[in-house]
Amino acid sequence: MKNFFLPALTLILFSCQTKVMEPPVLAPFTDLDTICTNDWWNRAPNPIHDVKVERDQVVAFGLYTVMNNTLKLSAQLYPLYPDETRTVRLEVQRGGQWIEIATEEVNDLGWSALFRIENWDATQDVAYRLRHGKEAIYEGLIRKDPVDADEIVMVAFTGNSNRDRGSRENYIRNVNALDPDILFFSGDQSYDHKEHTAAWLLFGSQFREIFRTRPCISIPDDHDVGQGNLWGENGKVSTAQGCDDGGYRYHPEYIKMVERCQTANLPDPFDPTPIGQGIGVYYTSLVVGGVDFAIIEDRKFKSGPKGKIPQQGPRADHITNPDYDPGALDLEGLVLLGERQLKFLDQWGAQREGVEMKAVLSQTGFGGTAHLHGSKENRLYADMDSNGWPQTGRNKALRAIRRAGAVHIGGDQHLTTLVRHGIEEFRDGPWTFLVPSIVNYYKRWWWPGDEQPGMNHDPDNPLPWTGDYFDGFNNRITMVAYANPEGSMDGSGFGLIRFNKPAKEVTFECWPRNINVMQEGAKQYTGWPVTIQLDPL
């Protein structure tokens, strides 16, 4: 009996010992992000994304940019057990050999690590890989700066809704075929308010095959930080249902984690001074191939409407009263971008050295371009979620973009549009392209009330409701193209922007999700492409 039981007992003790772990790091927030530190391994399988991966798959993806010969590369990992190393290694290929050039520590809040490499040689392609432990590897390519290319191409996305958690094969196939120089995700990469880590890992699994080999800009919007709408008001705490009083609903460390995971790879911010609750900022600029992109934060400083303007509907931010006065909404003291970002735009706009064209990137547009929300029966006369409000702040922003000679690219509105803004007069402002949602579950329509073409409608435009209009805030906009969800076209897809440097032209393309761009006769949404001429810088 002794010889029979002793080996069994030894096996049991050994098995128990292998499961003993150090206590988990505890998150500073509760009721948020069940796989962000804490005892994530003891919890039920995550319904958003399977995070209990084999340990050779624990490096999920990387995001990078290069600016002023500085490489910033954010490594995203799956959750780590307490007894696993937090060290991530960055290796590059030189002379056919992999050479380790840096190590960084993973932050248990969000499982990301940031590499910053000075004196980066941006004149050549460099293969890289991220390593954790003995077997986990993620490989990619740091592209050389395409300064000699006549055309710089950006692909832009928005709105990765959780109504479809499947893969994104169409997008991956199309983007790799088009081979852009840079990617832009304007927000709502995560739609699972309290579970950013799982949703962010799902996003990475869906799109990493296009950003493992090219620079990527990803900026968070309202859903990423756990809110249906966001008016950040310089970091105050929001207490109202719907957050329309302004500020952030969730713990500041959660907000900081979201921004760290999504934006740490961006160039250093113009002014890193934190806002309220210690929340950081990321507004900055990135030059790719001589095209200078300003990256701004639409909602971080913006005033919330509740308690500040007369309510004209069931919600403070939705106007359903047809007899409202748009001028009564533009009150003194209301903020859109804030003085800090306006100062940045002015200095950025004046910077010309090594720059041939300019563009501003942000979450959404500077006008009300959606009339019907959710259904054709739900008409809003104005929506404070758009940057058409407050009007004074809107015009300050547009003047700064106009002085820079830039175009503007954004998303968020669940409706793709191309407009030329007016400030003092129609068509005296910059162009804005709002790209379609990746998954467009909440539909919106451009549907003017009289259903007549706008003033100065181009008779050659195949879309009926184009021309000069006043939006719901009495802002001047010229609608050039839109893609209402109709029939088999649900309004989802992506935008592509071509910057032709010698001609100083910008071409806006808008591709439906279900189109294969490689097939002969593949068509964009009706009304696209559109090419515009910019004044030389």
- Residues 173, 91 share a domain: no
Full DSSP string of 429-477: S-EEEEPPBSS--S-EE---TT--PPBT--TT-SSSS-EEEE-TTS-EE
Residue 253: how many CB atoms within 10 A of its CB? 18
pLDDT tens, 159-192?
999 999 999 999 999 999 999 999 999 999 999 9
Q: Is there a domain that residue 41 lies in? A: no
| pTM of this structure | 0.95
Tokens of 259: 């921004």
Residue for token digits 């199309």? 174
- Residues 70, 162 share a domain: no
> CA-based angle 161:163:167, to the nearest 5?
75
- Residues 165, 102 share a domain: no
- Boundary of a domain, candidates 105, 120, 142: 142
Q: Which of 512, 509, 508 is nearest to 534 (CA)?
A: 508
Backbone conformation region of residue 390, classed left if phi is above 0, alpha if psi is from -120 to 50, else beta: beta
Residue 176, judged by CB atoms within 10 A of its CB (0-12, 13-18, 19+), counts as middle
Cα–Cα distance between 269 and 411 in angstroms, integer? 22
Parallel, antiparallel, or unpaired for β 476-482 and 467-470? antiparallel
Residue for token digits 């900055």? 284
Q: Is there a domain that residue 432 lies in? A: yes
- Taking all residues of the chain, what is their mean pLDDT, rounded to a whole number? 94
Sign of the CA dihedral with 110 first, then 48, 64, and 412 last: negative
Q: Which of 243, 296, 250 is nearest to 271 (CA)?
A: 296
- Boundary of a domain, candidates 85, 110, 142: 142
pLDDT category, 20, cuts 50, 70, 90? low
Cis peptide upstream of residue 274 (ω within 30 degrees of 0) = no
Parallel, antiparallel, or unpaired for β 431-434 and 407-410? parallel
pLDDT at res. 208? 98
- Residues 243, 127 share a domain: no
Residue 236, judged by CB atoms within 10 A of its CB (0-12, 13-18, 19+), counts as middle
- Residues 309, 272 share a domain: yes
pLDDT tens, 512-523?
999 999 999 999
- Residues 459, 322 share a domain: yes
Which domain does 485 fall in, by range?
Answer: 151-533
Number of domains the chain contains: 2
Does residue 534 have a pLDDT over 80?
Answer: yes
Does residue 17 have a pLDDT over 60?
Answer: no
- Residues 447, 363 share a domain: yes
pLDDT tens, 472-502?
999 999 999 999 999 878 999 999 999 999 9
- Residues 74, 216 share a domain: no
- Residues 474, 368 share a domain: yes
From residue 410, how far is each of 195, 213, 219, 468 by CA, in Å? 24, 23, 11, 21
- Residues 181, 73 share a domain: no
Cα–Cα distance between 287 and 377 in angstroms, integer? 44
Give me the CATH number covering residue 307. Answer: 3.60.21.70
pLDDT tens, 87-109?
999 999 999 999 999 999 999 99
Q: Is there a domain that residue 34 lies in? A: no
- Residues 199, 60 share a domain: no
The amino acid that residue 352 corresponds to is R
pLDDT tens, 122-144?
999 999 999 999 999 999 999 99
- Boundary of a domain, candidates 113, 142, 171: 142
